[in-house]
Amino acid sequence: MTESWVNSAERIGADLHLELSGPGGRRAALIRALREAVRSGRLAAGTRLPPYRSLAADLGVARNTVADAYAELVAEGWLTARQGSGTRVAERAEPLRHAVRVPRKAPRQAPPPAPPRARGPRHDLGQGTPDASAFPRTAWAASYRRALQAAPTEAFGPGDPAGRLELREALTEYLARARGVRTEPGRIVICSGFAHALRLLFGQRGQGDTGGGVLRGPLAVEAYGLGFHRDLLTAAGVRTVPLPLDEHGARVDRLGRERAVLLTPAHQFPTGGPLHAERRAAVIDWARARGAVVLEDDYDGEFRYDRKPVGAVQGLDPERVIHIGSVSKSLSPALRLGWMVLPERYVDAVLAAKGEREAWASVLDQLALADFVVCGSYDRHVRRMRQRYRRRRDRLVEALAERAPHVEVTGVAAGLHAVLRLPPGTERSAVKAAAWHGIALDGLAEFRHPAAEEQAADGLVVGYATPSEHAYGAALEALCAVLPPG
């Protein structure tokens, strides 16, 4: 049966008549009607659409039907959705209303310009970033205001290269309570993230470094990891030696004469899983025997779902481990705030490498983060996001079990991504198919060290934290549609 809805001017600024008809049910009919309204120009760019509940009530459909229709059109680029701004018609080319007449004797003209392309992928399932729409704006603004009002006058002068004492004190308490880190404020140095920490520790050629970094290679690394970090180390003249991985994490028994080892022990990136307890003890024994140091990348240690908390390796020996963390996964990479918990012997050298004046992390952001941690907002945000990401992980696992049961899902007990194990020889085609359909994700091979010994396994690294809530369902549908058959 054909249904119609006449929208009030108060809701979108102009009357609009929608015809819900045709095959495929009400969701498909609503998508077609809205798409046609945009295409024909009856819904102009920037027009705000009514909330899910209002439109559902007017049309006599379920609220989820409207939410799914909006999400699909956002994913296709017809609509945009931002927190606080609602769902609006995306900026698009003017609708084609009339054919363009070309004079018979017109001079030779250049071909018409190509239609505008959507910015970025339609479905972002890339790893490494949290849901930007979930940033706690209200709580962060409150912390920022309190920090600004309470800041002493000297906070507005040149910054301390170690970072603000208020933040280092807050981190000392938080890391001890939440991650089992043993430290004190004088052994914490604030940085702008993990990559900045690597640059300070190892230096970088061509960047004006005079001391060549605090640490020297060769550096043992896990056989799978971020190529960006390997490139950064290579630029600093550091040779990296890959360690094989198995179901218990890095094979630290293969460590030899390296001067340091870089690990992701809380949740191996990207394959998943914590470093086994025996191997945690073994790597500390190796560092003590060799006079070496362990670099602990605690990149998403807060997000765990089906297992007990895993403490930091640093707690086993604070003088043999450099613990590195940031808020890039827990809050936002836009804040550019991280920290190094250092053995005492490295503190002065790291501060010297950083320089006399803090040139990276904003002092005001540091003060705001300190308040955010102390007042409990950080803990509340992490708990809330842990629940949200767990639900997303469960939806991913359920969708794959129903649509692609031949695909094994691994590494999902913690973190913000999953690894989808594919049949041999299908990874490259799956990545191409995903790109063709506007899905951003990574193949597992992208993270493999070039000198790794073990045979590469086929897989996809799928980030389930990146999409906003309303776009996640459409992203899962698109993902399942491009997976290779069993």
Residue-wise pLDDT for 39-87, tens only, equals: 877 777 888 888 878 787 777 788 888 888 887 888 777 888 776 677 8
pLDDT at residue 370 above 60? yes
Tens digits of per-residue pLDDT, 397-431? 999 999 999 999 998 888 889 999 998 989 999 99
Question: Which of 107-121, 225-239, 363-377 is least confident?
Answer: 107-121
Domain with CATH 3.40.640.10 in the chain: 137-378
Quick one: pLDDT at residue 358? 59
Quick one: pLDDT at residue 462? 92
Beta bridge partners of 224: 448
CA distance 413 to 304: 6
Q: What is the percentage of the chain residues whose pLDDT exceeds 70?
A: 87
CATH number of 3-94: 1.10.10.10
Domain with CATH 1.10.10.10 in the chain: 3-94
The pLDDT-based confidence of 11 (bands split at 50, 70, 90) is very low
Quick one: pLDDT at residue 210? 40
Burial (Cβ within 10 Å: 0-12, 13-18, ≥19) of residue 243: buried
Task: Please give the model's pTM, rounded to 2 decimal places.
Answer: 0.73
pLDDT at residue 106 above 60? no
Mean pLDDT for the chain overall: 84
Fold held by 381-482:
Aspartate Aminotransferase, domain 1 (3.90.1150)
Q: Long-range CB contacts (< 8 A, 24+ apart) of 444-447?
A: 444/224, 444/270, 444/271, 444/419, 446/227, 447/224, 447/225, 447/226, 447/227, 447/269, 447/270
Quick one: pLDDT at residue 121? 79
Quick one: pLDDT at residue 117? 43
Most confident of 29-33, 331-335, 360-364: 331-335
Q: Which residue has the tokens 């989820």?
A: 64
Quick one: pLDDT at residue 204? 63
pLDDT (mean) for 440-447? 91
Quick one: pLDDT at residue 98? 38
Question: Which of 79-93, 104-118, 136-150, 455-469 is least confident?
Answer: 104-118
Quick one: pLDDT at residue 17? 57
pLDDT (mean) for 101-118? 44
Fold held by 137-378:
Aspartate Aminotransferase; domain 2 (3.40.640)
Quick one: pLDDT at residue 88? 85
pLDDT at residue 102 above 60? no
In what helix (H) or strand (E) does residue 147 lie, and over which residues does it extend? helix 137-150
Quick one: pLDDT at residue 103? 40
In what helix (H) or strand (E) does residue 20 lie, and over which residues does it extend? strand 17-20
Q: Are 245 and 267 in contact (CB under 8 A)?
A: no
